[in-house]
């Protein structure tokens, strides 16, 4: 099968790049329409502390996509020795800036900075990745109104739904329990009426559990860990992992080994990653509308 982007893909690929592109176009059209009503544009600010090359790539990609879709975007880069109070001061200023609608702090942060303190300092109204405890609480409570869901988990659900993959009643097994991916993706799958099992670093006999999965979401960051022994034939495999091995990007899943036994599978790159960015664009637009009251009819 030849995709719109010209890549040759097997038929069971969940093509995040393609779906993300469609979402960018939707956001772009909405913003063009908004442009006829108001000169104001949504603004996303992404904060990067340190010089991790992978984080630099992600941050630039986020900012560039925001501009491509017609938003304003700024990347604020700080050295690795930035203190927690310096970073808190930056966030306080951005919270008070009425021209900034979405604030994202690229994780992970250097170890001397407490992630919870930083994420909690972002105003919940500007928390574009939905990771503030208030927003995570709302997510857990199942609140649906004007809620920014965490970008990677929400992007995964959008991708599965785009391909009409049934979720209700399916056994979804999530590998990983981080606040940014594992926990919220399980909550979102539960909201879609899947039966959810979490596995993590202390889980015993994991393959016995994963082999029961109709949908397997892996977010461990362990390269190529998931081989055929972990998979029920016909399962849907979502690979969140981004790992660099010998200069090449690979996921948690040994794609070549399992792709023929999966009914659907995300590639790395080109699966979950682009969906994360597309959801970030949608979330920024949502926050802009909430804060300004400006929306396309």
* Contact residues: ligand NAD, CB under 6 A: 152, 175-178, 180-182, 199-201, 203, 206, 219-222, 240-243, 272-273, 276
Q: Exactly one of 17, 43, 62, 149 is catalytic; which is it?
A: 62
Nearer to ligand NAD among residue 70 and residue 150 (C-beta): 150
Give me the least distance between CB of 147 and ligand NAD, in Å please.
Answer: 19
Structure tokens at 52: 């991790």
Nearer to ligand NAD among residue 47 and residue 272 (C-beta): 272
Angle CA 18–76–271, to nearest 5 = 20
Give me the least distance between CB of 94 and ligand NAD, in Å please.
Answer: 22
Angle CA 198–15–188, to nearest 5 = 30
Number of Cβ within a 10 Å radius of residue 139 = 23
Contacts (Cβ under 8 Å, ≥6 apart) of 3: 9, 15, 17, 18
Nearer to ligand NAD among residue 9 and residue 206 (C-beta): 206
Number of Cβ within a 10 Å radius of residue 285 = 25
Contacts (Cβ under 8 Å, ≥6 apart) of 273: 16, 242
Residue 106 bears catalytic tag = yes
Alpha carbons within 13 angstroms on the beta-carbon side of residue 34 total 22
Helical packing angle, 272-292 and 16-35, nearest 10° = 20
Nearer to ligand NAD among residue 44 and residue 219 (C-beta): 219
Give me the least distance between CB of 171 and ligand NAD, in Å please.
Answer: 17
Residue 290 bears catalytic tag = no
Give me the least distance between CB of 182 and ligand NAD, in Å please.
Answer: 5
Q: Exactly one of 15, 43, 106, 291 is catalytic; which is it?
A: 106
Give me the least distance between CB of 86 and ligand NAD, in Å please.
Answer: 24
CB 220 within 8 A of CB 242: no
Structure tokens at 277: 């960015």
Distance, in Å, from the CA atom of 184 to the CA atom of 137, rounded to the nearest integer, reads: 10
Give me the least distance between CB of 65 and ligand NAD, in Å please.
Answer: 13
Nearer to ligand NAD among residue 243 and residue 290 (C-beta): 243
DSSP state of 281: H
SS3 183: helix
Distance, in Å, from the CA atom of 154 to the CA atom of 163, rounded to the nearest integer, reads: 15
Nearer to ligand NAD among residue 41 and residue 183 (C-beta): 183
Residue 43 bears catalytic tag = no
Residues known to be catalytic = 62, 106, 129
């Amino acid at each position: 099968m030849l995709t719109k982007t010209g890549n040759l893909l097997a038929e069971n690929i969940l093509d995040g790049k393609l779906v993300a592109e469609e979402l960018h176009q939707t956001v772009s059209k909405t913003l063009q329409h908004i442009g006829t009503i108001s000169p104001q544009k949504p603004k996303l600010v992404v904060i990067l502390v340190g010089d991790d090359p992978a984080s630099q790539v992600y941050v630039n990609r986020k900012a560039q996509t925001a501009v491509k879709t017609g938003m304003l975007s700024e990347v604020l880069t700080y050295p690795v020795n930035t203190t927690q109070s310096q970073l808190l001061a930056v966030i306080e200023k951005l919270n008070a800036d009425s021209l900034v609608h979405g604030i994202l702090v690229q994780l992970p942060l250097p170890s001397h900075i407490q992630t919870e303190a930083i994420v909690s300092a972002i105003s919940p109204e500007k928390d574009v990745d939905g990771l503030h405890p208030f927003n995570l609480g709302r997510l857990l409570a199942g609140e649906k109104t004007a809620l920014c869901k965490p970008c990677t988990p929400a992007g995964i659900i959008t991708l599965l739904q785009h391909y009409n993959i049934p979720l209700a009643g399916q056994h979804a097994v999530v590998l990983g329990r981080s606040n940014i991916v594992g926990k919220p993706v399980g909550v979102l799958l539960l909201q879609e009426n899947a039966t959810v099992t979490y596995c993590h670093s202390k889980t015993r006999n994991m393959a016995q559990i994963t082999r029961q999965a109709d949908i397997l979401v892996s977010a461990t960051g362990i390269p190529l860990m998931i081989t055929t022994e972990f998979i029920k034939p016909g399962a849907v495999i979502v690979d969140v992992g981004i790992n660099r091995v010998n200069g090449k990007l690979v996921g948690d899943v040994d794609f070549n080994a399992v792709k023929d036994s999966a009914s659907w599978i995300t590639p790395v790159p080109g699966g979950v990653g682009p969906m994360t960015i597309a959801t970030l664009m949608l979330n920024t637009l949502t926050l802009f509308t909430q804060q300004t009251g400006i929306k396309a009819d």
